[in-house]
Amino acid sequence: MGIVSIFGTLFIKKRTRLIAGIGMVKNARTKLHLSVITCECGYKILLVPDGHAMCQAIERHVLEHKNKGANDAEANRIEDALISQVFHKAAESQ
């Protein structure tokens, strides 16, 4: 089993198939728990140690909110909440 990153999305490669890697991936033999941050809309973003990649993932998701009609203030609030979760998760792992 290997982990592959394609265009900012994490996939778990098992034999010849790829399984999306957000949240918990489970099979008959193992359970893999991945840390994620969760938007108020329910969307989950995988927490990765690369700060630039995390920033891009958050910005991409906030842009989705803007495209769905969120105003700038709401988009900034959502972005701040997601960034706050990143810092809290990082502090928990210390």
State the maximum Cα–Cα separation within the chain, in Å, rounded to a whole number.
46
Q: What digits encode the pLDDT tens for the residues 9-25?
A: 444 444 433 444 444 44
Residues of the chain with pLDDT under 70: 1-33
Q: Which neighbouring-strand residues pair with 18?
A: 13
CA-nearest of 79, 91, 86 to 40 is 79
- pTM assigned to the model: 0.66
E strand intervals along the chain? 2-6, 9-14, 17-20, 24-26, 31-33, 36-38, 44-46
